[in-house]
Amino acid sequence: MDVSPERLVEQANERFQLQDYYGAIHLLEEVVATGRAFADAHHLLGLSYSLAGQPDKALEQLDRALALNPNYIEALIHRALVLNELGREEEANTVLRRARQVTSERRAGFHGHVAAKLANQHAVLGQAYYEAGGLSEAIAQYEAALTLGPGFHDLRYKLGRMLLEAGRTLEAHEHFQTIVRERPSFLDAAAMLGMACYLAGDGLAARAVWEELRARRPEDPRVEAYLALLSASDVAPVSAGANADGLEAPDDSPPPARKKKKK
């Protein structure tokens, strides 16, 4: 059975709470291998590596978490601790100063670290709504999360995909464009920006985005599939039933009534 990345992270957190750090690492590496890991997964993997005595790998994962969410206060603190452990005290002090700066910032009327926690709680609630089938409620929660944490591009990415699913293509396009502009290394967001262009009927923009992505990530089979999709459709308009991956959604309407044969 295909287990979602979110569920794998939950299982990893359970192993972490039991101090089974290697078990947590195994599960989180599965998440990272999917290419769909968000800041929370990288942070927990970094912390697990640290507690398992692998500080270099811990720093790599904490850096990846902070690349996705520069204001991730826990990742900043844990990065400082790992640097201090490695004897890199000056770097650790720089990171701690950044952490203090984050906590002194105010967003939506809250201190930075409080706003970040509230943003993540909105995201957790939004994911619960989504899994329960409440797409519009999930979108509202993720929008509230981004009001509190506008730099949380992992959450912005999830919101963009939900907006595509809801048929709100132009709004999704705006969010993916923001991510690509501010985090050029977030290649999954670039892939979805191309999809948003395609679903909006702008085939030329979609091709430009995907061809640039192919040059940067030639090993990703999805990019070739997207370009093949574009060529096959010859930039034909996509029906309203298409989902976020550009595939036709199943028709849930009842079949037409069959006529009774006359005797």
Distance from first CA to last CA of the chain, Å, rounded? 50
Specify the pLDDT at position 3: 64
Q: Mean pLDDT of all residues in the chain?
A: 83
Rounded to whole angstroms, the Cα distance separating 217 from 219 reads 6
Q: In this prediction, what percent of the chain has a pLDDT beyond 70? A: 84
Sequence spans of domains, the chain? 5-104, 173-249
The gap from C-alpha 237 to its chain's centroid, in whole angstroms, comes to 27
The pLDDT tens digits of the residues spanning 49-68 come to 999 999 999 999 999 998 88
Nearest CA to 28 among 76, 1, 60?
Answer: 60
- At residue 234 the predicted structure's pLDDT band, cuts being 50, 70 and 90, is low
- For 113-124, the pLDDT digits (tens) are 788 889 889 998
Q: Are 180 and 169 in contact (CB under 8 A)?
A: no
Say yes or no to pLDDT of 141 above 80. yes
In contact, 177 and 170? CB cutoff 8 Å: no
Can you tell me the mean pLDDT for 7-26?
Answer: 90
Strand partners, 242: 248
C-alpha to C-alpha distance for 63 and 85, rounded to whole angstroms = 16
Give me the CATH topology for the region 5-104. Answer: 1.25.40
